[in-house]
Structure 1
Amino acid sequence: MSNILIVLSGADHWTLADGTKHPSGYWAEEFVVPHEKFTQAGHTVEVATPAGRRPTPDPLSFTPDVAGPDAAHYSEYVDSLSEMLGFPLKLADVDVAGYDAVVIPGGHGPMEDLADDRAMGRLLAAADAAGKIIASVCHGPAALLSATDSNGRWLFADRRLTCLTDEEETEFGTAAKAPWLLESRLRERGAQFEGGPVWAPNVVRDGHLISGQNPASSGAMADAVLTALG
């Protein structure tokens, strides 16, 4: 069995272009579905956040009108892990050598803190150099932006990946106030972006780098990680 590290945002808001703070955090489905699949498969899962802060779920991710018919399950599952989530590992203290995979769920939280978190960047650089599985979904790939080499070059330039598309961000109603859009930023940094139909599952694997497009891709992303773990 393998050891899997899930890195969650420690933010409880997303700062919009006008400076206002929009309540946010991690998206429950994108954490719950992979965690459930990994543990049911017998793997050990640990959670880390910046500074070891208790992660905050985006309140909308428990709303059936937005999160779908399984919203109540997501809420109950998060509640069942309350003790563990109350004491996550400190991201800066994590030694990636102890893990076989690093998985980063989305929500707008990662755009607030993980995208420029130095500890996140160091962990990803070490994981990439060691050929560890690096997986993310929806806004989780924002964390990849934190990883640069000594010359400031983005480590994931020229790699195939996906994330929540600009079109989906627009349909969700958050693009107009966003300080930046993730798909556009990844393209600007040199990613070979592969978007699929809006809100449909889409997973892209480029070697040990795995990414999912949107919340509906959470299960397929987790399955891809399990396949990669062999």
Structure 2
Amino acid sequence: MTNILIVLSATDTWTRADGSAYESGVWAEEFVVMDETFRQAGATVDIATPGGVRATIDQHSMDPGTVGKENVDHFRTYLQSVEDRMAKPLVLADVVTSRYDAIVIPGGHGPVEDLYKDADMGRVLTEAESTSKIIAPVCHGQAALLAAKDNDGKWLFAGRRMTAFSDEEEVELGTADNAPWLLADTLRKAGATYDKGPNWGAFIVRDGNLLTGQNPASSKPLAEAVIAALN
């Protein structure tokens, strides 16, 4: 049986460059679509967060004007159906990486607040990478990759091909000007070979065991790519 770990951000805010708090968390589509796709394929899926804190769903991702009423209705229904799993996530520090075939990280702005500097996130990714397990973040989930460094402080994913939420999409979203740092720019500066598709269009990149999706629209293709890679 395939076992997948989904790591979610534990924060409900994103601290902006001016110190203000921006309501944030996990982008609903990215979690719902991937979790649903994996489970429909027969995988066992666990959820973990830093401290075992219940993840907050970013309310921007539940706005009918942003994502469409039909999608919001589906997200809400699905989230209610997995309430028991959402209410009691695993503690990230207690995760035994060897139990899982893939580590998946949805976005929302939450990961750029907590996962990018979380030592337990770094440990799980380092252990997963050491045994070539599938690692699959989407959108801002790629911020979590920044937590993985070797004993010399070198970034584990330097030189790897990847995509992530683009700086251009951040600008169009209206969240770039007051951002403390931009994800794609930061990944490039850290040594990633960054690639992107059209703004808001589905786009994924595979580099060995590292599979990445650019934005919310990439959630389904990324989940399907993970399943294909595991099979």
What is the TM-score when the length of structure 1 is the normalising length? 0.99
* CA distance in structure 2 between the aligned counterparts of 1:6 and 1:208, rounded to whole angstroms: 16
2:62 corresponding residue in structure 1: 62
Residue type of the partner of 2:23? P
The CA deviation string for residues 13-38 of structure 1, in whole angstroms up to 9 with x for no partner, is 00000001111000000000011110
Deviation sequence 1:28-74 (CA, Å, 0-9, x none) = 00000011110001000000000000000000111121123412111
Residue 31 (structure 2) aligns with: 31
User: What is the deviation of 1:204?
Assistant: 0.3
Q: What corresponds to 1:160 in structure 2?
A: 161
Equivalent position amino acid for 1:112 in 2: E
The secondary structure found in structure 1 opposite 2:34 is: helix
SS at match of 1:66: helix
Determine the C-alpha separation between the residues in 1 that align with 2:162 and 2:200.
Answer: 16
Counterpart position of 1:138: 139
In structure 2, what is the Cα distance between the partners aligned to 1:214 and 1:64?
A: 18
Matches within 5 A, 1:178-197: 178-197=179-198
Q: How many percent of aligned residue pairs carry the same amino acid?
A: 56
1:130-151 deviation line (CA, Å, top 9, x unaligned): 1100001000000000000011
Alignment-mate amino acid for residue 229 of structure 1: L
Structure 2: distance between partners of 1:41 and 1:79: 20
Residue type of the partner of 1:154? W
Cα separation, 2, equivalents of 1:96 and 1:67 = 34
CA distance in 2, matches of 1:33, 1:62: 14
Structure 1 Cα separation of the partners of residues 119 and 126 of structure 2: 10
TM-score, normalising length from structure 2?
A: 0.98
In structure 1, runs of 5+ residues without a counterpart are: none
Tell me the residue number matched to 2:125. 124
AA in 2 matched with 1:89 = L
The corresponding residue for 1:46 is 46
Aligned residues: CA RMSD: 0.6
- Structure 1 segments, 4+ long, off by >6 Å, are none
- How far residue 214 of structure 1 moved from its aligned partner, in angstroms, is 0.3
AA aligned to 1:187 is R
Task: Map 1:171-210 onto structure 2 (within 5 A).
Answer: 171-210=172-211
Question: How far apart, CA to CA, are the structure 2 residues paired with 1:81 and 1:193?
Answer: 34
Instruction: Output the CA distance in 2 between the equivalents of 1:150 and 1:162.
Output: 26
**Structure 1 position 99, deviation (Å):** 0.3
Matched with 1:73 is 74
Confirm whether residue 101 of structure 1 aligns to residue 108 of structure 2: no
Deviates further, 179-188 or 75-84: 75-84
Q: Give SS of 2:205's match.
A: strand
2:206 alignment partner, SS class: strand
2-structure distance, mates of 1:147, 1:187? 15
Determine the C-alpha separation between the residues in 1 that align with 2:20 and 2:76. Answer: 27
Question: Deviations 1:173-214 (Å, cap 9, x if unpaired)?
Answer: 000010000000000000000111100000000000000000
CA–CA separation in structure 1 for the residues paired with 2:173 and 2:96: 36
- Please state how far the C-alpha of 1:78 moved relative to its aligned partner: 1.0
